[in-house]
Structures are given as C-alpha cells and as structure tokens.
Amino acid sequence: MNITLPEAPSLPVVDEQGAAAGSFPVGRIFCVGRNYGDHAREMGHDPDLEPPFFFSKFASSLSLGPDHALPAFSEDVHHEVELVLALGSRLENATEAEALGAVVAAGVALDLTARDRQAEAKAAGRPWLVAKGFDGAAPCGVLKAGGVPPLSARIALTVNGNLRQEGALDQMLWPPGPLLAKLSALFVLQPGDLIFTGTPAGVGPLRAGDRIEGRIDGLPPLLGVIV
Ligand code: MN
C-alpha cells in the first residue's frame, strides 16, 4: 500500500512585536471541562467538588477563518472562548515547572459545542465526540510565541459587538501548570499538542452571520464570521 496522510494543519505564529514567526503544526487537541467556577455553575455543577476532566477534538476540528462554518446537524452551537496553549516538547508525569516550560505559544480559540447533541449524549451516558469534535469545532486565532500569558489577563468574547463572555485567566480552577501536570500523568504529551483551558461564564448560541471577536490581553485576537 502507498497511502499518504493529509498534512497536519498548522497555526501561524507571531513574535512579541507581531512579526511572523513561523507556524505551529497541530497534532492533537485536548480540552478541559468546567475550568472556571462561574461557567461550571451556569451548567449546573458545583465546581468545588470536581477534579479536572478532559475531552478531545481533532486536529481536523481546527478552523483558521475568517469564516467559521456551523455543522448542519445542530440547531444550538455555543461559543466558549478559551486560552489555548501550544506544546513544543514532550511531557510525561511532568512537574508544574516542567509543564509550563513546554509551552511555546499561546492564543485565543473557541471551543464550539453543539449543545443539543451534547445534552443528548449526557442524557444517554454517551461520549461528547460529535458535540465537540466536529469539523470546524475549533476556530483558532494566530498564536503568539512565548509561554503562558500573565494570569491577570482578561479574556472576553463579543458577538456582533455585544459582550457575551468575560473573565480573567486567574479564575481558572486548574491553572496551566497544575492542569498540564495532571494531563501529562494521563497521556504522554507531545510537541504539536494544543490544550484548550476552559471557558468563563456567558456561553450561548451562534448564528450564521455573527461576527465574533475573542480577546485575551497580550495575545492576537480571534476575529471571524460564523457562516
Ligand atoms: Mn470548553
């Protein structure tokens, strides 16, 4: 057999000054659920009782925009604006310091979620694969080279100019160091892994034509249109 794998999708990277600084090839996408207390509460959970839990998307879920397509099988796709971390080295049972040292870039992304399909999956005790892993389920902005941004940074999403989500990275229940350390005890993490770190409160539906603007202080914004 002679089969050629599709080329790995890659995200553009800029340096501190905003100049092009190569690209980051994406291997896998890991996500953490309910990592901000106010979002856990809006989804009906007590954040104090929960250790971190993880799910995944595919590299093929990435959407580089500027158009981000909704899936045909859902009537209720929600935005979740998130800090994403890009790993440049291998992590296995890492300490928090080792984990933070492996982060080579960061950016702003949406963890798009087909909430109707997710609710069905939850009720049936089934995986979230379709709800979270569909093609285009991970709109992602340009990455900025460097480590984890300061946790005092504000994270926000506007839709058509209206503020929908707002918080600060220091509201994470599991901040990047402990989060990546925990994840590296479950999976051997690899260069090319992208980690979605959870969303603050205010999630809600997107419609075709919506203009999205995701921002985290100090990082390139995620700008685009939902189609
Ligand atoms: Mn999320």
The pLDDT value given to residue 48 = 77
Task: Give the burial string for 97-127 (b: 16+ CB within 10 Å, else e).
Answer: ebbbbbbbbbbbbbbbbbbbbbeebeeeeee
The pLDDT value given to residue 8 = 87
User: Ligand 1 centroid vs 2 CA: distance in angstroms?
Assistant: 38
User: Ligand 1 centroid vs 34 CA: distance in angstroms?
Assistant: 7
The pLDDT value given to residue 156 = 98
Nearest to 211 by CA among 70, 109, 68, 61: 68
| C-alpha span between 30 and 55 (Å, rounded) | 6
Q: Does domain 10-226 have CATH number 3.90.850.10?
A: yes
Longest dimension (CA), the chain: 53
User: Ligand 1 centroid vs 31 CA: distance in angstroms?
Assistant: 7
Q: How far lies 24's CA from each of 42, 48, 83, 85, 139, in Å?
A: 34, 35, 16, 11, 15
Residue pLDDT, tens place only, 184-220: 999 999 999 999 999 999 999 999 999 999 999 999 9
Nearest to 219 by CA among 156, 138, 137: 156
Q: What is the mean pLDDT of residues 117-124?
A: 97
User: Ligand 1 centroid vs 69 CA: distance in angstroms?
Assistant: 18
Please report which confidence band the pLDDT of residue 142 belongs to, taking 50, 70 and 90 as the band edges. very high
User: Ligand 1 centroid vs 199 CA: distance in angstroms?
Assistant: 5
Asked if residue 183 has pLDDT above 90, the reply is: yes
User: Ligand 1 centroid vs 112 CA: distance in angstroms?
Assistant: 8
User: Ligand 1 centroid vs 82 CA: distance in angstroms?
Assistant: 7
- DSSP bridge pairs for 165: 157
Mean pLDDT of all residues in the chain? 96
User: Ligand 1 centroid vs 104 CA: distance in angstroms?
Assistant: 21
Residue spans of the domains in the chain: they are: 10-226
Q: Which letter does DSSP use for residue 34 in this model?
A: S
Contact between 27 and 193 (Cβ < 8 Å): yes
| C-alpha span between 224 and 79 (Å, rounded) | 13
User: Ligand 1 centroid vs 4 CA: distance in angstroms?
Assistant: 32
The pLDDT value given to residue 46 = 86
Cα dihedral value 64, 70, 73, 79, nearest 10: 90
The pLDDT value given to residue 47 = 81
User: Ligand 1 centroid vs 35 CA: distance in angstroms?
Assistant: 8
User: Ligand 1 centroid vs 179 CA: distance in angstroms?
Assistant: 14
At 7, phi and psi to the nearest 5? -65, 140
The pLDDT value given to residue 212 = 98
Residue pLDDT, tens place only, 31-81: 999 999 888 888 888 887 788 999 999 999 999 999 999 999 999 999 999
Nearest to 104 by CA among 84, 127, 124, 121: 84
User: Ligand 1 centroid vs 172 CA: distance in angstroms?
Assistant: 12
User: Ligand 1 centroid vs 15 CA: distance in angstroms?
Assistant: 26
User: Ligand 1 centroid vs 36 CA: distance in angstroms?
Assistant: 10
| C-alpha span between 58 and 48 (Å, rounded) | 29
User: Ligand 1 centroid vs 196 CA: distance in angstroms?
Assistant: 7
User: Ligand 1 centroid vs 33 CA: distance in angstroms?
Assistant: 6
Residue type at position 226:
I
